[in-house]
Structure 1
Amino acid sequence: MGIVKKLLAALAATTLVAAQDTTFTQEQVDSGEALKSLSKQALDAALARLPESGEGCTRENVRVRREWRNLPAEMRIKYTDAMLCLQAAESINTEIDGAKSAYDDFAVLHYNLTPFVHNSATFLTFHRYYIHTLEEQLRTKCGYDGDFPYWEWGLDCADPQKSPLFDGSETSLGSDGEPVAASPGGGGFGGFPGMGGGSGGGCVMKGPFSNYTVNLGPSTVAEPLAYNPRCIKRNLNGAICAANASIRNTTDVITSAPNIELFQAIIQGDMRYPEARGLGMASHGGGHFTIGGDPGGDFYFSPLEPAFFQHHGQIDRMYFIWQNLDWENRQGIAGTGTMMNQPPSDEVKLDDLLDLSPLAEARPIRDLVDTIGGPFCFVYE
């Protein structure tokens, strides 16, 4: 934590800027220089809103979320050990046959809420609170004491199998799946059918989670919440990553969206909006299908893929950067309470409750908009 403390100390005198510089050349975008600049501007702006010390969230105690490869090796192992611990802990959903572990409880919640927290007003705040809830369980139930990691997909599009996240080493989340001819990418995500073209498709071959049992799903069976034990499968796909989740894709979302309505539409490829048409599965679906497999490519049960939380950490990081580049104007939400407004539903308000029970208490959405407010106290490096 020494490096983090030095970083925070160096930023202690930072002053808040209302709107940041988002003008870059294409070369700066493609090289990652632009995204690094935007990330630093957002971090500086967020830290400037915090007191140096005292009660509540401060520069002294704020957690810093870090990209997977920036975690020390021993901390990556502690993280996977904590995830395995959660997968062995007892479920609280005793009435659901397929829920065998505390980790399965997260999949049950996501399955039940999927029609309400995708392509809706709560997509970003739900997943922010959802990831935070997992992090708190890793800490309280399994003793994890490190930084929560995210995955910057664009660093690995050239060859996801060589990613520190998926290289099969003890410091990864396990390997790709065993190669399977014409392997499907999953059960369909966000309206896209199962996709081929990946490098795996079968059971994860080695590393952490190679012996992990998926208990629930897939969403296409008659009883998705029934007990259905099987191996975890992956189908890593660099072409999908390059087309949807590259450094350019990520940067363009952050710099092109003038308001929250278009930001969440572009990041999800919401075809109701002209600005999002032609983006295919966009960054959100692209990150999911870079992993693919079962359950990684399943719209409802994708949280049963451990890398789900690093993928959505990157989505939340994009949200954090976008917000803090113009904080005064980016604290709102937009949309209704159902996916694509089907069936038609009311506009969601900041004072409406977002309920993650039984895993976390219901909270007003306005408490979930700021990563250094409400139940949160974290920033992204």
Structure 2
Amino acid sequence: MLLLERLSVLLLAVPAIGAALPEAPRDSTCTTPQKRYSWHDISATDKKAWLSAIHCVMTSPQKLNRLPGAKTRWDELVSLHQIHALQIHTTGQFLPYHRYYLKTLEFLVQECGYTGALPYWDETRDAGKFSASPVFDKVTGFGGSGKGSQSCVMDGPFANLTINIGPGFKSQPRCLNRKITDMFSSQTGTSYVTKAISGSTYAQALDAIYSGPHLLGHMSLSMMNGDSITSSGDPVFFLHHGFVDKMWADWQAKDPKRLKEIGGINVQDPAVGFSEFSGGMEAESAMWGKPSKELLAVTPDPQSGDGGGTLTLNHIMSSLGIIPNATVADVMDIKGGYLCYQYV
């Protein structure tokens, strides 16, 4: 049975957790947006505050008691990406869901006492030389490229930490790991970003951002052994996706009409799977396995709010209880009220 068919059968058999949770408020306003700065431009004190908050999330015990394999609050965040993997990659959901995912992280660091804005990484400033970026400083950064056969991160504030989610759809504890390759990082440069956000439609921007600087950034970092399902185990993932989110926000800012432009499928086409890999879902299962019954039992309905296979502004996104549900409409404008930030 194809993976999508298995998913559909099991979703019909269990209630969608996402549909049972409260939804985000929709009538707030944004008068003083937080400023998200690149890692290059924040003080050493603020960097250490962010790193401390992330370390706190990574070492705090899990709270939801429903996500398979999760032992820490960080594991719950990584599990969220794992559970949604086939809904939020090579689909219309990619950009809005990852924007919502950053807000989920924002809530978790606030639990740990962090009150500032989320940082991001302006990768255009390090294109072609990621390994020399201040992001990977051993004291005021995330540590560098990993060591040994597993590329385990051995320096910096996250040295020797264990991630319990992954690889793929499994839950087998492994070290936090990454492997930096400068060659690929050249394609996160200014000219590549400009090209990625030059299209006139959401479909064009979505494909160009996903297949361009987003994908090449991941290839340059090989976070969690380059595992597309659980690469968010590495906290650098969120700086990278801040960069991705900024590209979408910059594309949207070119025309107010784009704040309501959305579309695409809301779950992967089995024949395609992840567009960066050949062979479709069944071939990819050789790399990552398939979602277990336990994972499928907590997987939200990919068509929630849409009433069909096309993504709409009414689509309901879920963090499975970490923060309230939100619709795609809620996250379309980064200064729309539900969200209140800007990139500088």
TM-score w.r.t. length of structure 1: 0.70
Secondary structure of residue in 2 paired with 1:116? coil
Partner Cα distance (1:240, 1:179) in 2:
21
Partner Cα distance (2:223, 2:235) in 1:
12
In structure 2, do the counterparts of structure 1 residues 176 and 350 end up closer, same or farther at CA, with 3 Å as the change threshold?
Answer: same
Q: Which structure is larger by alpha-carbon Rg, 1 or 2? A: 1
Deviation at 1:75, TM superposition (A): 0.3
Q: Quick one: which of 329, 340, 344 aligns to 1:377? A: 340
2:190 corresponds to 1:247: yes
> Could you say which residue in structure 2 is the equivalent of 1:212?
161
* Cα shift readout 1:250-300 (whole Å, capped 9, x = no counterpart): 12112x21111110011123xxxxxxxxxxxx21111112111425x1111
Partner Cα distance (2:223, 2:93) in 1:
26
The RMSD of aligned alpha carbons is 2.0
* Cα shift readout 1:112-131 (whole Å, capped 9, x = no counterpart): 11111112121111000110
Long gaps (5+) in structure 1: 1-54, 181-200, 270-281
Q: How does 1:15-30 map to 2 (within 5 A)?
A: none
Secondary structure of residue in 2 paired with 1:339? coil
Deviation at 1:330, TM superposition (A): 4.3
Q: How does 1:360-375 map to 2 (within 5 A)?
A: 360-375=323-338
Secondary structure of residue in 1 paired with 2:177? coil
* Cα shift readout 1:183-233 (whole Å, capped 9, x = no counterpart): xxxxxxxxxxxxxxxxxx6221311111321212111xxx603xx333222
Deviation at 1:166, TM superposition (A): 0.9
Partner Cα distance (1:95, 1:264) in 2:
32
Amino acid at match of 1:320: A
> Could you say which residue in structure 2 is the equivalent of 1:132?
103
Segment of structure 1 superposing worse, 107-116 or 93-102: 93-102
Contact 1:161-1:167 at 8 Å conserved across structures:
no
Q: How does 1:155-194 map to 2 (within 5 A)?
A: 155-168=125-138, 170-178=139-147
* Cα shift readout 1:339-367 (whole Å, capped 9, x = no counterpart): 24769961122122222222222222111
Contact 2:331-2:338 at 8 Å conserved across structures:
yes
* Cα shift readout 1:291-339 (whole Å, capped 9, x = no counterpart): 11425x1111011011000000000000111101212344210112112
Partner Cα distance (2:340, 2:148) in 1:
41
Secondary structure of residue in 1 paired with 2:35? strand
Contact 2:153-2:177 at 8 Å conserved across structures:
yes
Partner Cα distance (1:95, 1:218) in 2:
19
Amino acid at match of 2:44: A
Partner Cα distance (1:202, 1:356) in 2:
30
Partner Cα distance (1:259, 1:215) in 2:
39
Partner Cα distance (2:258, 2:184) in 1:
33
Contact 2:29-2:338 at 8 Å conserved across structures:
no
Deviation at 1:158, TM superposition (A): 3.1
Amino acid at match of 2:263: A
> Could you say which residue in structure 1 is the equivalent of 2:73?
102
> Could you say which residue in structure 2 is the equivalent of 1:224?
170
2:202 corresponds to 1:237: no
> Could you say which residue in structure 1 is the equivalent of 2:202?
260
Q: Quick one: which of 261, 266, 270 aligns to 1:332? A: 261
Secondary structure of residue in 1 paired with 2:85? helix
In the comparison of the two structures, how many residue pairs are matched? 283
Partner Cα distance (2:167, 2:257) in 1:
42
Contact 2:152-2:175 at 8 Å conserved across structures:
yes
Contact 1:268-1:283 at 8 Å conserved across structures:
yes
